Chain A
Amino acid sequence: MTTLHTLIIGAGLSGLTCGIALAKTGRRVTIVSAAPSTLQLNGGSMELLGCIDGQEVTSPIEAIARLPHDHPYQKIGTENIASLALEAQRLLDDAGATLTGDPQHNHWRITPLGVTKPAWLSLRGMATTASPDRLPWQHLTVLNLKGFVDFPIHIMAHNLAQLGCQVTVRDIEVDSLSQPRRSAAEMRAVNLARTIGVGSKLRHLAEAINQACAGDEVVLLPAIVGLEDDYPVNLLRRWVTVPLHFLATMPPSVPGTRMAALLRHYFKMLGGKFLTGESVGCVKLADHHITAAYTVKSPGIPITAQHYVLATGSLLSQGLVATRDAIIEPLMGLDVDAAAGRDNWSHYGLMGDQPFMHCGVLTDTALHPLKDGTTIDNLHAIGSILAGHNPLTMGDGHGVDLLTALSVAHQLV
């Protein structure tokens, strides 16, 4: 096997972005793809920086300068953030994920519970607003499909009404769902997208919406169409006679699945290769230099590359693993920034600023991870495996994924 330019471990948002950026320059890149990415939890938007010290941020670029020195944005240089952000938006757009937004000014996405959260980019068609406490409509209709339980419409309507709107809740009966409705598992958003998001069923859905909502000012529908691309989204919006926007559902997310599919497709188009359903079982290290990687399924076949990129994610994606005694990076035993003693990894009160969310691998400013205090010179770490940030309290997860990926890609070409 000839040597790759780069082997990327992990096919989440950061791994795919890094792979695309490298493949665009003609480099030979392979991505090892073990499991579905956390884009499944996406609400149709990307966050760059949403919150700092508990306060929502209106201008991410301006606020980034105030981040602590160990934040990943500080490592890639706060002066580079604006241009990297624009580059990320272009890359997503080239992949077919049409997102609108501006790194200088956050807008607000609407969550499945009907509250607003700061966002940098949102997929075209998603319901958004320019202000955290006001919606751009007076009367809005939230419409659900009977039996779709992963859309908390009554709580959502309550919270949307707090933003000064009159909210009408409606549901429509769609014949093709009488069968799947027998089990909640069949009624998940991505299954619905497969069932009703295609062909004549999409046409029927449009007719049902038109019948139920004729004359309404605006209709908000759960994001249940457009699993692979946004054709069904655009068609539905054209066929429906009233203004139609989409709202994020509980996971698994259709917009998130679509973005992952588009990025994977784009990477392949650029000549990139996937090892799907594989994971790297071990790497051979010599003098803080990786000489080969081996997958779990083919432990006898070395994969060699000039560069390796670790994009395996946080605890959630098992890029980090908590044993009873320590939080470790399971593949190479890299240095992890985590408190000693499992009592110190978390607090009571789940939705606080949990220490385990900040855990990650330690790196130098070029994002080379450390092992026993020394960097591994042909390895970079990107995305949510990095220490020093908390996507849940800071709203910086997607930005860290995208921008560290691009920053490393620039270093490697």
Chain B
Amino acid sequence: MPIVSNNEHATYDVIVIGGGVTGAGVARDCALRGLNVLLLERHDYNHGASGRNHGLMHSGGRYAVTDPDSARECIQENEVLRRIACHCIEPTDGLFVTLPDDDLDYQATFVEACRQVGISAEVIDPQQALQLEPTLNPDLRGAVRVPDASIDPFALTLANVLDARLHGAETLIEHKVTDLIVAGGRVLGVRALDHRTGLTHDYHASVTINAAGIWGAQIVRHAGIDIQMFPAKGTMLVYGQRMGQMVLNRCRRPSNADILVPDGAVSLMGTTSDRIDIAQVDDMRVTAAEVDLLMREGEQMVPRLAQTRLLRAFAGVRPLIASDDDPSGRSISRGIVCMDHASRDGMEGLITITGGKLITYRKMAELATDLACRKLGVDAACTTTTQPLPGSQERNVITGGFKPSGKSNSSKRHGDRRRAIPATDALDRMNICECENVSIGEVRYAIEQLQAHDLANLMRRTRLGMGACQGKSCACRTANLLAQLTGDAQQAQCDLARLLDERWRGAKPVAWGNALRDAQLTAAIYQGLCGLDKAIGRKEVQP
């Protein structure tokens, strides 16, 4: 039985459940409109699908033929994000390529559908495409250029959280909503467990917005409401090299393994789409069959992937709403679903915002906040289509880009907020992650200003350990720094072990060649040389 604290908490206008990009966007929009808002996240920002995706800013082209409404949402938001979140975006553009096995007639259908929804789609000569992207399959038969881009979902969510907080929002991580407080056909707030203290608190609000992604069905069940979610697992591979400069898509009906996205120094290949049991959502494992499929298809588009080192594989779950018997979920609309549970289920004070895409998060937030404002009787216009996020507020912000020179990338990650990173002391300027150029000052900034308190959330704030070495050298340095800054060395070394296991979880599905060799090296350092297993008192063997 959890302990419920007695202290009265303030009452909020709005409680947002979920710290993915949608929840962060809702909290920001609410705060900008002057609402008193609290965001509760059960683990960390972007812990769910917002942090487990391609990092692709769709032009909408992918959905133009099969899901034009969703495509229109994508292109509109694509244009908005280029204005308000330029520090999170690398404007790469994208190609939709027709390979020998693909139907070239589809290209005309594709281009026409793009025009219908307002996506610029320029047919280019295959030879020209090869000049732009020399790694493409030389036998390609057609190519169309669209305004796709690469986007950093971690930077995007954090910028929304930061702006929400700058405008008075409270945001709490490691707070799991365990119940909704319901009385007289109305949701009055939530009960939440603080994972770090083990204490449970009640929080009251006039409106509760459920932005919990795939976990949203469990949230509304506390109010006796049923939503049929469709958990669609999408698996992606991370290759340890940037294969090209543009987003590469197959020009065919949306299918498995047809997108390759450049992301800084690496490339992401994906995805699969398979319905999974909701019980698996918190323990997703990538299968050998998924890896083989992604590799086979990826190599058709970019043959050189066959010789490129795989770093790891990961999977996310799309929060789709079930609509038919489609076993893969490919035909379910990626459109936004905003539910007013008052009109749908007779339950006042509760909104669910779900469906959509990473890049339509702002629109989703606008819709949910509009509805909340109507319920609260607040008349305030949405300003998020024009108001830049923190990090993108200076005119000359460097848009993201791969800097092979090894110059610090903190300006990409934090945009104009980089000025807040301590750099006067020589020690603060020292890099502790050589792959992604993360300085000691940046780690301090993440701890002091971005609510980072462990290694895993430091990685989400700074990209520490995400590069080629996958944390082999920097994990220990950062754990030591964390021990110094927090004074809790025991926690820091447990964190270190957890982080290595988490990295290994990603590498295991691709553990042959250098990935397996690297695993042996990591184990030789941390288990053999350091005795980390002994340090944290772990002797048992995990199956």
Binding site for B on A (CB under 8 A): 38, 41-43, 54, 111-117, 146-147, 149-150, 152-155, 157-159, 178, 181-185, 187, 248, 250-251, 253, 314-316, 318, 321-324, 342-343, 345-354, 356-357, 391-393, 397
* A348 cross-chain contacts in B, Cβ below 8 A: 501, 504-505, 508, 542-543
Pair B523/A354 contact, Cβ less than 8 Å: yes
Report if B427 contacts A (CB, 8 A). yes
Whether A351 contacts B529 in the complex (CB less than 8 A), given A153-B480, A155-B483, A322-B513, comes out as no
Measured between beta carbons, the chain A residues less than 8 angstroms from B493 are 113, 155, 158-159
- Looking at A185, A347, A392, which has the most chain B CB atoms within 10 Å of its CB? A392
A397 to B531, CA, bound (A): 15
| Structural contact, A154 and B484, CB atoms closer than 8 A | yes
A393 cross-chain contacts in B, Cβ below 8 A: 527
A112 to B500, CA, bound (A): 17
A-B contact list, 29 entries, CB within 8 Å = A38-B524, A41-B524, A113-B532, A116-B531, A116-B534, A146-B427, A147-B426, A150-B473, A150-B477, A154-B483, A155-B493, A158-B483, A159-B535, A182-B426, A182-B429, A250-B476, A251-B525, A314-B520, A316-B520, A316-B524, A322-B517, A345-B512, A346-B508, A348-B504, A349-B501, A350-B503, A350-B526, A356-B520, A357-B523
Task: Among A42, A112, A155, A181, point to the contact of B489 (Cβ < 8 A).
Answer: A155
Q: Does B301 contact A (CB under 8 A)?
A: no
5 smallest CB-CB distances across A and B, nearest first, come from A349-B542, A158-B489, A152-B480, A154-B483, A350-B504
Q: Which residue of A lies closest to B500 (CB)?
A: A350
Stretch from B88-96, B361-369, B430-438 at the A interface: B430-438
**Chain B neighbourhood of A323, CB < 8 A:** 512-513
Q: Is the CB of B530 within 8 A of A111?
A: yes
> How far, in angstroms, from A207 to B523 measured CA to CA in the complex?
38
B535 touches A184 (CB 8 A): no
A393 to B520, CA, bound (A): 12
A47's closest neighbor in chain B, by CB? B528
Q: How far is the CA of A406 from the CA of B484 in the complex (A)?
A: 46
Let me know if B533 is at the binding interface, CB within 8 A. Answer: yes
Q: Which residue of B lies closest to A154 (CB)?
A: B483
**Docked pose: A58 CA to B483 CA in angstroms:** 32
Say whether, besides A150-B473, A346-B511, A111 and B489 are in contact (CB < 8 Å). no
A152 to B535, CA, bound (A): 13
Contact A392 B523 (CB under 8 A): yes
Task: Tell me which residues across on chain B come within 8 A of A350, comparing CB atoms.
Answer: 500-501, 503-504, 519, 522-523, 526-527
Which chain A residues lie closer than 8 Å to B429 at the CB level? 182
What residue in chain A is nearest B505 (Cβ atoms)? A348
B interface residues (Cβ-Cβ under 8 A, vs A) = 288, 426-427, 429-432, 434, 440, 473, 476-477, 479-481, 483-484, 489-490, 492-493, 496-497, 500-501, 503-505, 508, 511-513, 516-517, 519-535, 538-543
Q: Are A184 and B431 in contact (CB under 8 A)?
A: yes
A347 vs B481: C-alpha distance in the bound complex, in angstroms?
30
Asked if A112 and B524 sit within 8 Å, CB to CB, the answer is no
Measured CB to CB, the nearest residue on chain B to A42 is: B529
Give the chain B neighbours of A315 by CB distance below 8 A. 516-517, 520
Number of A-B contacts (CB under 8 A): 180
A155 touches B492 (CB 8 A): yes
Cα distance A114–B493 when bound, in Å?
A: 11
CB distance from A376 to the nearest CB of B (A): 25
Contact assessment for A154 and B480 in the assembled complex, using a CB-CB cutoff below 8 Å: yes
Q: Which of B530, B539, B541 is the most central at the interface, judged by chain A CB atoms within 10 Å of its CB? A: B530
Of all chain B residues, the one with the shortest Cβ separation from A342 is B512
New A-B contacts (19) at CB < 8 Å, excluding given A149-B432, A392-B527: A41-B521, A115-B531, A147-B427, A149-B440, A155-B479, A158-B489, A178-B426, A183-B431, A187-B430, A322-B516, A323-B512, A342-B511, A346-B511, A347-B542, A349-B504, A349-B541, A351-B497, A351-B526, A356-B511
Cα separation A347 to B519 with both chains bound (whole Å): 11
- Give CA–CA (A111, B490) in the complex, Å: 16
Residue of A with least CB distance to B292: A324
Q: Tell me the complex Cα distance, A155–B531, Å.
A: 12
Q: Smallest CB-CB separation from A157: which chain B residue?
A: B489
- Measured CB to CB, the closest approach of chain B to A126, in angstroms, equals 13
Cα separation A321 to B511 with both chains bound (whole Å): 11
- Specify the chain A residue showing the minimal Cβ separation from B526: A351
- Do residues B520 and A357 form an inter-chain contact, with CB atoms below 8 A? yes
A169, closest chain B residue (CB): B484
Bound together, the chains give a CA A345 to CA B523 distance in angstroms of 14
Q: How far is the CB of B186 from chain A (nearest CB, A)?
A: 44
Closest approach, in angstroms, between the C-beta of B187 and any C-beta of chain A? Answer: 39
Please report the C-alpha to C-alpha distance between residue A113 and residue B503 in the assembled complex, in whole angstroms. 20
